[in-house]
Structure 1
Amino acid sequence: MFQHLHSIFVDLQRCEGCAACIDECPMRAIHLPHGKAVVIHERCIDCGQCMLACPRRAISAVTDTLESLSQHAYKIALLAPSLEVLLDSESPSGRVSSRDLGSAFSNLGFDEVFEVARAARVVAFIVERHIEERKGQAPLLSTSCPAALRLVQARFPGLMTHTARVLSPMEVAARLAKEKAAGKTGLSIGQIGAFFISPCPAKVTETERPILTTRSAVDGVIGIDRIYGTVVKQLAEKGSRKGQYELPDGTERETGTDRPAQTVQGGRLRRLKVSGIQTVTGLLEEMERGRPVDADLIELHACAGGCLGGPLNPRNPLEKTTDVGRLIEKYRRRRGCYDDQCLLSIYKKRSFESTAPVGPGSTETPEQVGCVGSP
């Protein structure tokens, strides 16, 4: 993995100094000292809003490349839920099969794919238990979006005590995938590389300088834009069949919504989903002033529409979708990969909680606690 303070990069030759990026930055992390945009690294949260705003495409994200796979004996692609939604929308059948998906990423140099949606079920279960233990206290803030989390840390540090004390689905997925691969191959954790295929630059910075753990289990972050065209072409050549895999019960892929805030009633929790960096900032300002929020969990997404609006996605299928609710519902409830007893065992052992920072391979996974139905 490369070593940079931030993923956001400005091409000064392209920049015309129009200041469109300054208007969109929630952290005032860009200025024009000599008529060209310069990032103030101490303020930047890598939300990528400047990338979306720039009319000259002078701002981009530095991510890892496929060449970095060669550093590991066994390579795992961690697939963001938003990527799976994008690929499904490209398929004539409306669903890419697991076989074709694995084959496409194998051609890129990966040995295995692991759906981050599986880890999201583990995270959701832990968060639900935390909320039950809190018994009516102020709502928890989700930790899945690193840009939103850094926004809280930088501008609203008093609200950090409201964040869910659990690792993000990306981090949990890396640990689950590595432990599974180690058991299957006999390789050590250090020989296995987990690479997140990301819709946003904030994930890059999160693996370099994580907030919730001392060291990330993710070995690299590759932008969706780097591999999307190749994967889509391979899937088209195969004429991808209808898939057989299913999402964990109660898990919702990070499709977001066309509205900035949405209350979702489901399961044990009252969730408030808030997307778009300006809307997220406005809510946090209200919370800081003491405004009560009628929710158990507030899911914060820096990008409008959630991760499908990420700046590294080649397009957003929500833009041409009239029935957004139907698209979201398509990914809502499926049969679980882990049963409740398995998840309860993980929770009781405090695995994947951020209150005790962990390194790769040091948590107990479903396989280690003898769970039924592990992926």
Structure 2
Amino acid sequence: MFVNESTYYHSVRLDKDKCTGCTNCLKRCPTEAIRVRDGKATIIGERCIDCGECIRVCPYHAKVAVTDELSSINRFKYSIALPAPTLYGQFKNLPNINRVLAGLKMMGFSAVYEVAAGADIVSHAVAEHLKKEDVPKPLISSACPAILRLIRVRFPELIDHIVPIQSPMEVAASLAKLHFAKENGVAVEDIGAFFITPCPAKMTSIRSSLTVEDSSVDGAISIMDMYGLLNSQVKKPDSDESLQHATYYGVGWANSGGETTAVGCDNAMAVDGIWNVIRVLEEIENNKLSDLEFFEGLACPGGCVGGPLVFENGFVAKNRIRKLIETLPKARAEAGEIEKELAAFDVRSTKEIKPLPVMKLDDNIVVALKKMERMESIAANLPGLDCGSCGAPSCRALAEDIVQGNAVEMDCIFKLKEKVRKLALEMVELSKEENK
């Protein structure tokens, strides 16, 4: 069913003026959320998980991510920057992380709180949760919002496997506000926390969170939008103020496998790239990986460093992050300090993730079964080439669209050619009859 986009908040949007109706996005969408109708792409709001794959592959830049502008920090009396550790990998020859953090303050933020520091706390909480015996295995990381939305749409049976702990972004925002309010004697309501994001899914998770009732993050500014101005600040001499507190393990979350390393689970698997993640989730769903304890799935290739809203090539940024963390002591955050933070703030999810049954044909089971029979019949008569010329990503998707009343069989170019050929033959026969 096609739905009005206003029903669901999405960061990923379509610029129809730039769309040429090509099928690049159609083929790459992991939830079949895109159709091409009347020469333009259409996004099915219910199915979109804001992974940004369409942004990555669109040659005409017709897919865009809506994020906040830097000026939005002026909505609050005080503003806190929450840099994703991915941000550190964007700068060539960066001598230390403190340069980036100081640069953010020079850009107008009242304070800076590292999301990597939030990752240190979340790593500890996840490690403790893994020790419990009554949890389903493997546990699935809750860090990537695109993967969470993928699970509720395509793998709802795995929702119970998701770690019930908030993301480092949410934890960092909550703690940053608490600390700033206490240290400066100001009201939490006067403080705005803004995430510097590498992906559109984070923006969506702020506006429509799956794990918390109300996000502590007040906005998200893309790394791409921040890079130019921040790069000029980073080149300035080192600041006397020491702002960097996250550990080797927290900063490492930027790369795929960083969370797994930080959690310290040996029997774990880290997979990046949404199509690779889908293949592993299928294995988990079929109970083929029941001996695995922890699964870290990240939608972007290479991890968050490969997000569609970054400035630098993901592989280059990944290597820079690796070199940066090598300059940090390979030590974990003090357990006492983490316990103190956990006592001040509960990192557990406050909202239950529920399935989003967008794949079902109808609410009425009897009607759904009849539609399924008709869909199977239509699909069997289609060529099965999955060429995308009809505007659907596959022949089966076209059959579903036909059953739901969103397409007709003649949208298939091969069916249309067959129909035209038959009509041409009939015209020839009619012509022969007339000549007689």
TM-score w.r.t. the length of structure 1 is 0.83
Identity of aligned residues (%): 35
2:295 to 298, 305, 312: 298
Please tell me whether the aligned partners of residues 246 and 335 of structure 1 are also in contact (alpha carbons under 8 angstroms): no
| 8 A contact 2:119–2:253 mirrored in 1 | no
The aligned counterpart of 1:189 is: 188
SS at match of 1:254: helix
Task: Measure how far apart 1:17 and its partner are.
Answer: 1.0
**Paired amino acid for 1:351:** D
2:52 is aligned, of 30, 48, 55, to: 48
Q: Does 1:32 align with 2:36?
A: yes
Q: 2:268 aligns with which of 267, 271, 294?
A: 271
Amino acid aligned to 1:22:
L
For the 8 Å contact 1:116–1:173, the answer to whether it is kept is yes
Contact 2:302 2:314 in 1 (8 A): no
- Report the counterpart of residue 96 of structure 1 in structure 2: 96
Q: How does 1:74-153 map to 2 (within 5 A)?
A: 74-87=78-91, 90-91=92-93, 94-98=94-98, 100-134=99-133, 137-153=136-152
113-122 vs 267-276, which deviates more? 267-276
Q: In the alignment, is residue 209 of structure 1 matched against residue 188 of structure 2? A: no
Alpha carbons 1:250, 1:267 under 8 Å: kept: no
> What's the secondary structure of 2:61's corresponding residue?
coil
1: CA distance between counterparts of 2:241 and 2:313?
22
Match of 1:353 in 2: 348
1:6 to 7, 10, 21: 10
Give per-residue Cα distances to partners, 1:232-268, cap 9 Å, x unaligned.
Answer: 12223x15589963532643523335x9x99869735
The structure in which a higher percent of residues are helix is 2
Q: Per-residue CA shift, 1:274-296, capped at 9, x if unaligned? A: 10000111111111111125532
More moved, 143-152 vs 130-139? 130-139
Measured in 2, the distance between the counterparts of 1:299 and 1:333 equals 24
Letter in 2 for 1:285: E
Q: Say whether the 8 Å CA contact 1:255–1:306 is kept in structure 2.
A: yes
Q: For 1:340, which of 335, 344, 351 is the aligned residue?
A: 335
Contact 1:3 1:208 (8 Å CA) reproduced? no
Alpha-carbon contact 1:77-1:110 (below 8 Å) kept:
yes
Q: Alignment partner of 1:300: what SS? A: strand
Paired residues of 1:152 and 1:159 also in contact (CA < 8 A): yes
Over residues 167-203 of structure 1, what are the superposed CA-to-partner deviations in whole Å (9 max), with x where a residue is unaligned?
A: 0000000011000100111111110000000000000
Tell me which amino acid in the other structure corresponds to 2:302. G
Deviations 1:8-40 (A, max 9, x none): 111111111111011110011111111111211
Q: Give me the whole-angstrom Cα distance separating, in 2, the residues matched to 1:355 and 1:218.
A: 15
Given that 1:96 and 1:241 are in contact with CA atoms closer than 8 Å, whether structure 2 keeps it comes out as no
Partner of residue 326, structure 2: 330
Q: 266-275 or 342-351, which moves further after superposition? A: 342-351
Q: Which residue of 2 aligns with 1:163?
A: 162
Q: Distance in 2 between matches of 1:114 and 1:23?
A: 39
Q: Which is worse superposed, 23-32 or 127-136?
A: 127-136
**Greater Cα shift, 245-254 or 134-143:** 245-254
Instruction: Report the Cα offset of residue 58 of structure 1.
Output: 1.4
CA 1:263–1:220 in structure 2 vs 1: closer, same or farther (change >3 Å)? closer
17-26 vs 344-353, greater mean Cα deviation: 344-353
Judged with a 3 Å threshold, the aligned counterparts in structure 2 of structure 1 residues 252 and 112 are, in CA distance, closer, same or farther, namely closer
The one-letter code sitting in structure 1 at the alignment partner of 2:299 is A
What is the TM-score of this pair, normalised by structure 2?
Answer: 0.72
Q: In 2 relative to 1, CA 265–312 (structure 1 residues): closer, same or farther, beyond 3 Å?
A: closer
Q: Which residue of 2 aligns with 1:312?
A: 309
CA distance in 1, matches of 2:106, 2:300: 31
Point out the more displaced range, 22-31 or 324-333: 324-333
SS across alignment from 1:299: strand
Equivalents in 2 of 1:102, 1:121: separation in Å?
A: 17
Equivalent in the alignment of 1:372: none
Give the stretch that moved more between structures: 112-121 or 290-299.
290-299
Distance in 2, matches of 1:156 and 1:64, equals 31
User: How many Å separate the matches in 1 of 2:264 and 2:141?
Assistant: 17
AA at the equivalent of 2:26: I
2:152 is matched by which residue type in structure 1?
Q
Partners of 2:197 and 2:321 in 1: CA distance: 24
SS at match of 1:134: coil
TM superposition outliers: structure 1 runs of 4+ over 6 Å = 241-244
Which piece of structure 1 moves more, 177-186 or 295-304? 295-304
2:90 & 2:139 partners in 1: Cα distance? 29
CA contact (8 A) 2:175 2:345 kept: no
Unaligned runs of at least 5 residues, structure 1: 358-375
Contact 1:252 1:332 in 2 (8 A): no
Pairwise CA RMSD:
3.0
Q: 1:140–1:350: structure 2 CA closer, same or farther, 3 Å change rule?
A: farther
For the Cα contact (< 8 Å) 1:73–1:191, is it kept in 2?
Answer: yes
Q: How many correspondences in the alignment?
A: 346
- Partner letter of residue 207 of structure 2? E
Letter of the structure 2 residue corresponding to residue 204 of structure 1: M
Q: Which structure 2 segments of 5+ residues have no match?
A: 1-5, 353-436
With over 3 angstroms needed to count, the CA separation of the structure-2 counterparts of 1:326 and 1:209, relative to structure 1, is closer
Cα shift at 1:65: 0.8
Distance 2:260 2:122 in 1: 19
Larger of the two Rg values belongs to structure? 2
**Residue number in structure 2 paired with 1:364:** none
Q: CA deviation at 1:226?
A: 0.9
